[in-house]
Amino acid sequence: MAMNSPASYLLDPAMDAEEFLARYNNGQTNFCNANLAGMTLTGADLIGVELRGASLQGVYFQFCHFGRADLSHALLMGACFEGCNFTQAVLSQSHFRDAVCHGCVFDRANFQGAELTLAAFRDCNFLSSDLRQVNLSHTVLAGACLRGANFRKENYQAPANLVGVDLRYADLQGTNLASANLSRSSLMGANLKEANLNDANLSHANLENANLQGAILSHAVLCEANLASATLRQARLAKADLRGGDLTQADLSQAILVEARLDEVQAQGANLREAVLNKADLRRANFSGADLQEARLIDAYLARANLQGVNLRQANLIRADISSALLLDACMEEALMPDGSVYT
């Protein structure tokens, strides 16, 4: 992603906190390109301040209010913000690399095109913020609230880069992450209920105990992802690639898995009641002890799948290939068999 390079020069000389606050309190709001590097401020009210292109490298700001402030193109590398409020602030094309933000509020803030690589935003609030074209590679967002955040609105925009991002226990309910690259990211315990992850890359991601109820994951890549004990109830996973993933004890009840690739997954004890697995590839998958009652497996491929002790009561297996599957102790009561007969 093309980024505007940091400013090579600053119009104002470095100023200390006392001078900066005195100017602001006397009515000056324009500090564009100012050099505030290394400054320390606590409890300052800086609503509407203009800091476009300013240097805030290494600053320490605590409980400061930047509501509706303009920090576009600002240099914030190595800065530290604690409990600061950036509601409706403009942070587009800003540089946050290696910055640390703890307990900050970024509600409806505009981060479009910002560089957040290696920054840490712990327990921050990004409610309805604009994160389009933002580089979040290896960013820490543990405990963050990202409900309604916009990662990709227009189809022509590049997908969000969240490779290796730390989103443990983050709140991403309803978030648009379509086509985002979340490979090797940590989403343990995250709330992704009803999130749009269509075409997203979640290969090798850790989604253990994550809530993906009703999430859209059609065509998503989840190869070798950890979904152990995750909630995927009513999730849409049509043509998703879950090869080699861990679905142990996961809840996939009523999930749509039409033409999904589940070969060699580990899904022991998983709940797939009423799941739709028509034409799904389940070869060599381990579903031992899983619940597939009333599941639809029409034309499914189950070659060498482990279905030992599986509940297939009233399941639809019409034209499914179960010829080499292990069905020891499986419950097949009232199931529709591949030849159309009812198991008795």
Q: Is residue 132's pLDDT more than 60?
A: yes
Q: Is the confidence at residue 6, as pLDDT, over 50? A: no
pLDDT, tens digit, 9 for 90 and up, residues 294-313: 999 999 999 999 999 999 99
CB atoms under 10 Å from CB of 32, counted, come to: 17
Q: Residue 19 carries which side chain, given as an amino acid letter?
A: E
pLDDT band at 133 (very low <50, low <70, confident <90, very high): confident
Structure tokens at 204: 């090798």
Alpha-carbon distance 112 to 94, whole Å?
9
Tokens for 43, please give them.
């409890």
The predicted structure's pLDDT at residue 4:
41
DSSP letter for each residue of 305-335: -B-TT-B-TT-B-TT-B-TT-B-TT-B-TTP
**In the chain, pLDDT over 90 holds for what percent of residues?**
88
Specify the pLDDT at position 137: 85
pLDDT tens, 101-130? 999 999 999 999 999 999 999 999 999 999
Q: Among residues 306, 320, 236, 295, which one has the least CA distance to residue 265?
A: 306
Inform me whether the pLDDT recorded for 293 exceeds 50: yes
3-state secondary structure of 261: strand
**Does 8 score more than 60 pLDDT?**
no
On the question of pLDDT at 188 being above 70, the answer is yes
Average pLDDT over residues 270-299: 98
Q: What per-residue confidence (pLDDT) applies to 14?
A: 75
Give the confidence band of 160 by pLDDT, cuts at 50, 70, 90: confident
- The one-character DSSP state at 19 is H
Alpha helices in the chain (DSSP H): 17-25
Judged by average pLDDT, the poorest of 59-63, 147-151, 244-248, 297-301 is: 147-151
Q: What is the mean pLDDT of the segment spanning 304-328?
A: 97
**Res. 13 pLDDT band, cuts 50 70 90:** low
Indicate if the pLDDT at residue 245 is higher than 90.
yes
In the predicted model, what is the mean pLDDT of residues 219-247? 98
pLDDT interval class at 79 (50, 70, 90)? very high
Please list, in sequence order, all residues whose beta carbon lies within 8 angstroms of the beta carbon of residue 156, skipping any fewer than 6 positions away.
Answer: none
Burial of 245 (0-12, 13-18, 19+ CB in 10 A): buried
Mean pLDDT for the stretch of residues 308-331: 97
Handedness of CA 197, 203, 206, 209 (dihedral sign): positive
Would residue 333 be called left, alpha or beta, if left means φ above 0 and alpha means ψ between -120 and 50 degrees? beta
Collect all residues with Cβ–Cβ distance below 8 Å to 291 and sequence separation of at least 6: 270, 271, 272, 273, 310, 311
> What pLDDT does residue 10 have?
42
Distances in whole angstroms, Cα of residue 54 to Cα of each of 72, 149, 173, 270, 331 = 9, 26, 34, 53, 68
* Beta-bridge mates of residue 30: 50
Query: Cα–Cα distance between 150 and 100 in angstroms, integer?
Result: 22
| Lowest-confidence region among 174-183, 195-204, 292-301 | 174-183
d(CA 140, CA 313): 45
Give me the domains of the chain, ranges plus CATH numbers. Answer: 32-133 (2.160.20.80), 136-230 (2.160.20.80), 242-344 (2.160.20.80)
With beta carbons less than 8 A apart as the criterion, state whether 232 and 251 touch: yes
Edge-to-edge, what's the strand order for the sheet holding 120-122? 40-42, 60-62, 80-82, 100-102, 120-122
Range with the poorest average pLDDT among 148-162, 222-236, 252-266: 148-162
The DSSP element (H or E) to which 62 belongs, if any, is strand 60-62
The predicted structure's pLDDT at residue 161:
85
Chain mean position to CA 183: 10
Per-residue tokens: 153: 């609105």
Would you call 18 helix, strand, or coil by DSSP? helix
Are the CB atoms for 302 and 282 separated by under 8 Å?
A: yes
State the average pLDDT over residues 191-205: 96
Cα–Cα distance list, 323 to 234, 300, 317 (Å) = 29, 12, 12
Average predicted confidence (pLDDT) for the chain? 93
Residue in this structure with the two tokens 């409980």, named with its chain if needed: 63
Q: What is the pTM of this model?
A: 0.87
Asked if residues 242 and 263 have their Cβ atoms less than 8 Å apart, the reply is: no
